Amino acid sequence: MAGEPVSGRSRSAVRPAPAGAAEPALLDPATRPAGQTSLVVAAAVSFQAVAWALLIWLLRSGGPWYGFFDVSDIGVYLDYAQKVAAGLAVYRDFSFEYPPLALPLFTLPYRGDPAAYPTWFAAEMILLCTAAAALTGATAAAVWRGLARPLAACGAYAAAVLAAGAITANRYDVAVALTLAAALFFLARRHTTAAGAALGVGVALKLTPGLLLPLALIVAGTRRRALYALAGFLVFAAVPLLPFLGRWDGLTNVITYHAQRPLQIESVPGTPYLIAGSMGAWGIGTGSSFGSQSLAGPGSEVVARLSVWLGLLLVAGVYVLVWRRRELLRTVPEHIPAAALACVLAFTVANKVLSPQFLCWTFPLVALVLVGRGSLQRLTGILTLAAIAVTQVEFPGLYWRMVDLEPGPVYVVVVRNVVLVGAAVAAAVTVWKLPAAAAEA
């Protein structure tokens, strides 16, 4: 923000570009003794241990309002693992709506005992969540001097986990958060090729991380570095597909399955239908398909189709703002998480599907934005964290009552969606209000 110091450095810390150089001048990432970075990472791991111990204790036997494995997708994952164990081939012998790297996450915890599978799967996700927290702490240590903000970022990540609740451990979306945390870490350290590779791995897990590829290319700064980042992305996104190229119909189902999904009940575009249904409006109903619950009403199919284009338009609008602030993002990496969060939230609020676990993607982003400089960044982080917390109020404890269109649970979702839209607007305004260059900050 105007009048504030940049990343704890004086402006003299900007390295001047040599005459005729194509690459913009860069600020060096914060340098600190290796022991301090290790301390931050250890703090992130410790905070995760405390957060998960508290969640497991609270939810061990039904908890305050729901149990640890209530309304879980683990049964779906177990079914896939059992099919693979029986010798069936994915994308050929059975449909699989996820990209190929998701499958090892489902099969690894299975050791022939279905009763033990939920515990082992949850342990795997807790481990990945902790790794993402550690990378987030390391990113904070790279962009800020001192220990206050890096340690606060570790605490903010733990707060996001507590706000989300058990869903982090019984869905696989925290693996996506890990790839985003890795991409942020590499961008903060100027390793744009590695950042592209991390996003490629993310796409091979779930398609969403591809949203941040343009950000990595913009931050790269030069055509050569951008091409390397693109190459890293393409290689790591494509290599997991190679064993399945003979199963093209099964692979394309990853796209067509999600393209055909109707208007999901918790989505922001579905909010008017949800409100109308809770008020007894004629022609509004709910149904189950594609592994979730959806809304049906006059024009709902049109809304579902238009939401795709609205999402692309909103993300493109954010990237217009990012492009106008490209010099700052290349030289002051602490602002990259705000730009990334703006992109993810723009996609999320326009998407026709908004499952509760999607907010797990934001953990590394919200942790860094929440402790960033400037009131707008902090507001964005607070609103996103609040949306995560309100989601846990509704899901899973009130979920089926909401599906039945009971007014109370419905309005919990409405409040969550309003807060989430507010977070998306605040994130976009944050990027818009960034100075054009480090010298103006």
Within this chain, do residues 301 and 362 fall inside the same structural domain, yes or no? yes
Question: String of b and e for 415-426 (b: at least 16 CB within 10 Å)?
Answer: ebbebbbbbbbb
If we measure between CA atoms, which residue out of 63, 65, 93, 61 comes closest to residue 80?
93
Residue 236's domain comprises: 36-259
What per-residue confidence (pLDDT) applies to 9? 38
Residue 24 confidence (pLDDT) above 70: no
Mean pLDDT of 357-380: 97
Within this chain, do residues 305 and 197 fall inside the same structural domain, yes or no? no
pLDDT tens digit string along 314-330? 999 999 999 999 999 99
- Within 8 A by CB and 6+ apart from 140, the residues are 40, 149, 150, 152, 153, 154, 367, 368, 371
pLDDT tens digit string along 228-264? 999 999 999 999 999 999 898 888 989 999 899 999 9
Average per-residue pLDDT for the chain: 92
What per-residue confidence (pLDDT) applies to 365? 99
The answer to whether 366 touches 156, Cβ cutoff 8 Å, is yes
Q: What whole-number percentage of the chain has pLDDT above 90?
A: 86
- Does residue 403 form part of some domain? yes
Within this chain, do residues 53 and 154 fall inside the same structural domain, yes or no? yes
Q: pLDDT tier at 303 (50, 70, 90 boundaries)? A: very high
The answer to whether 212 touches 219, Cβ cutoff 8 Å, is no
Residue 3 confidence (pLDDT) above 90: no
How many whole angstroms separate alpha carbon 317 and alpha carbon 433?
A: 14
Within this chain, do residues 75 and 148 fall inside the same structural domain, yes or no? yes
Higher pLDDT residue, 208 or 62?
Answer: 208
Residue 14 confidence (pLDDT) above 70: no
Q: pLDDT tier at 29 (50, 70, 90 boundaries)? A: low
Q: pLDDT tier at 51 (50, 70, 90 boundaries)? A: very high
What own/partner pairs with CB < 8 Å and gap ≥ 24 does 421-424 have?
Answer: 421/268, 421/349, 422/383, 423/345, 423/380, 423/383, 423/384, 423/386, 423/387, 424/314, 424/342, 424/345, 424/346, 424/348, 424/349
- Does residue 432 form part of some domain? yes
**Type of residue numbered 431:** V
What per-residue confidence (pLDDT) applies to 219? 97
**Which range is least confidently modeled, 118-122, 174-178, 290-294?**
290-294
Within this chain, do residues 322 and 403 fall inside the same structural domain, yes or no? yes
How many whole angstroms separate alpha carbon 346 and alpha carbon 329?
A: 19
What per-residue confidence (pLDDT) applies to 337? 98
Within this chain, do residues 243 and 337 fall inside the same structural domain, yes or no? no
Show the tokens assigned to 324: 């106008």
Within this chain, do residues 310 and 183 fall inside the same structural domain, yes or no? no
pLDDT tens digit string along 255-265? 999 899 999 99
- Does residue 13 form part of some domain? no
Residue 403 confidence (pLDDT) above 50: yes
Q: What is the DSSP string of 422-439?
A: HHHHHHHHHHHHS-SSGG
Residue 16 confidence (pLDDT) above 50: no
How many whole angstroms separate alpha carbon 394 and alpha carbon 80?
A: 28
What per-residue confidence (pLDDT) applies to 28? 56
pLDDT tens digit string along 161-173? 999 999 999 999 9
What per-residue confidence (pLDDT) applies to 30? 63
What per-residue confidence (pLDDT) applies to 61? 67
Q: Is the peptide bond before 396 cis (omega within 30 degrees of 0)?
A: yes
Within this chain, do residues 146 and 81 fall inside the same structural domain, yes or no? yes
How many whole angstroms separate alpha carbon 403 and alpha carbon 394?
A: 11
